[in-house]
Structure 1
Amino acid sequence: MLDNQFRLCMLTGDNFADWREKALLTLGCMDLDLAIRVDEPAALTDFSTLEEKAQYERWERSNHLSLMLIKANVSKSIRDSILDNGNVKDYLKAIEDQFVSSEKALESTLMGQLYSLKYSGGKGVREHIMRM
């Protein structure tokens, strides 16, 4: 069983950086990160060797279990907005792209508020500084 510091928390929107770090650590500790570290192997054919078949099966298992673990720890509102093509690496990238754009929009809004904030003289300088 994983220690509390490695327990994967629910991704709710404001904890993306911590969630991503813990998700990758958890998958690594459980030896399920193969699908994240390695690209999907070529599709199996009638001429595939036993080693190629075994490698593909390891990758497929890693991909499937990693995707299940990640989806189970993403809030439903976020999960519904992420396109799932069945590949854990693409799913993580889609989550990251969504949060990078959200963080940039929030940063822009907060910077705009900071630049436009004027001292009104009403409640004192301390109150104005605390609002900033």
Structure 2
Amino acid sequence: MGTLTVSVASAANVSAQVNSIPMLNGTNFKVWKKAVEIVLDCMDLDLALRTKRPTSTPEASNEVNIEKWDRSNRMCIMIMKRSILEAFQGSLSEGENVKKFIDEIE
């Protein structure tokens, strides 16, 4: 199997997982949140949901941890926004932290 085939299969899998999240409509928060958590965990993107952002230190290895956390946070917010009705998106702030973003939605 070539690299392109694997990439296409992976893209289709990501799309299927993201599409499995129900649209948040104002009455289904618990179901929506559980689905988001499962999908983000399966995609190994839930780091920002599970941990606090690492603090910056002179260590190069910590910079890698910060980059991983920042990517996780950014991806979580993008995936969540995709599954929220546009009518609700206008009332949400552009939060820096996915945990605060979920709290605001709740």
TM-score, with structure 2 as normaliser: 0.78
- Partner in structure 2 of residue 29 of structure 1: 42
The root-mean-square deviation of aligned C-alpha atoms, in Å, is 1.8
Higher relative contact order (CA 8 A, sep 6+): 2
The letter for the 2-side match of 1:49 is E
| Structure 2 unpaired stretches of 5+ | 1-12
Output aligned runs, 1:46-125, within 5 Å: 48-96=58-106
Determine if the alignment matches structure 1 residue 38 to structure 2 residue 51. Answer: yes
Q: Percent identity?
A: 33
Query: What 5-or-longer segments of structure 1 have no aligned partner?
Result: 97-132
Provide the C-alpha distance between the structure 2 equivalents of 1:41 and 1:56, rounded to a whole number of angstroms.
6
> For residues 27 and 76 of structure 2, what CA distance do their matches in structure 1 show?
22
User: Which has the greater radius of gyration?
Assistant: 1
- Normalising by the residue count of structure 1, what TM-score does the alignment of the two structures yield? 0.64
Q: Deviations over 1:70-112 (max 9, x none)?
A: 011111111111222221111011111xxxxxxxxxxxxxxxx
Stretches of 4+ aligned residues off by more than 4 angstroms = none
Classify the secondary structure of the residue corresponding to 2:33.
Answer: helix
